[in-house]
Copies of this chain bind each other. A is one copy, B any other.
Amino acid sequence: MPSHPAFELFVRKLCERSRLTDDERRAILAIDGQEVEIPPHRDIVRPGEVTEFSCLVVSGMAARFGQLPDGTRQITAVYIPGDMCDLYSLMLPKVEWALQALSSRLTIIKVPHRPLLELVRAYPAVAEAFWRDCVADASILSQWVVNVGRRDARMRTAHLFCEIGLRMEKAGLGSRTAFQLSAIQSQLADALGMTPVHMNRVIRALRQDNLLLVQGRDVQVPDWDALAAVGGFDGAYLELDDRWRRVE
């Protein structure tokens, strides 16, 4: 019986960073959960909640965000198919952020914590692989702070599109120069710490410079190196290759 494609994608990503035996891989693929469709604007998990599952993205995109008392939101992570959102919660089930659909159509698999915990306790190598996945997520988060804190709106935007493009390409969902982005401008603004109006102007400016063409879902990058230069982008932080992984 073939396992779910999203799990295959997830395991493939893990194996890019960690060395897993066939046995361990099979053990991960044996896990399953409830596949659900999430309507837009509804929280999958809410801040302060104690969760009992992590979410594997099947199709569409999800985002993790923090919220201020006045309702202002800041997206702190974007998840694409094959990403296990909130793997963190396996170690700290009380989450301090919200998880929401970014796209109008999001399908996820709710993976219960219990079998995941049994898995990491049976296979230490899997525990390390999951831990490493969390660390890679934190590496992206760290870059996000730099992005929001020290780059201007134009650089920030270019940087985000480079990151998402590269991640989509690595996941086999289009190329870095042409992919589907299921997020509207005001959500991008929430990710980059700016207002929707200004977001619009920046995207427009990038389009006029022929650096970035966003039309509805479709994103096209005529000259990727140029966009990367504008964003000061260096993809090393994504930790997507295993050249320097510990192998002992």
For the complex, is A132 an interface residue (Cβ under 8 Å from B)? yes
For the complex, is A64 an interface residue (Cβ under 8 Å from B)? yes
Determine, out of A30-38, A91-99, A102-110, A168-176, the stretch whose residues face the partner at the interface.
Answer: A91-99
For the complex, is A68 an interface residue (Cβ under 8 Å from B)? yes
CB within 8 A of A124: which of B124, B130, B142? B124
A243 to B63 alpha-carbon distance, docked (Å): 27
Interface core residue of A64, A124, A130, A138 (most chain B CB under 10 Å): A138
Contact (A96, B149) CB under 8 Å given A131-B134, A138-B138, A232-B68: no
Contact (A134, B142) CB under 8 Å given A50-B244, A244-B93: no
When the two chains form their complex, are residues A92 and B135 in contact, meaning their CB atoms are under 8 A apart?
yes
**What residue in chain B is nearest A50 (Cβ atoms)?**
B244
When the two chains form their complex, are residues A88 and B246 in contact, meaning their CB atoms are under 8 A apart?
no
For the complex, is A137 an interface residue (Cβ under 8 Å from B)? yes
A237 to B50 alpha-carbon distance, docked (Å): 13
A72 to B96 alpha-carbon distance, docked (Å): 30
Can you spell out 22 A-B residue pairs with CB atoms less than 8 angstroms apart?
Answer: A48-B236, A50-B244, A64-B142, A68-B151, A72-B150, A76-B142, A88-B138, A91-B246, A93-B244, A96-B139, A96-B237, A97-B142, A121-B124, A124-B127, A127-B128, A127-B131, A130-B131, A134-B135, A134-B138, A138-B138, A148-B148, A148-B193
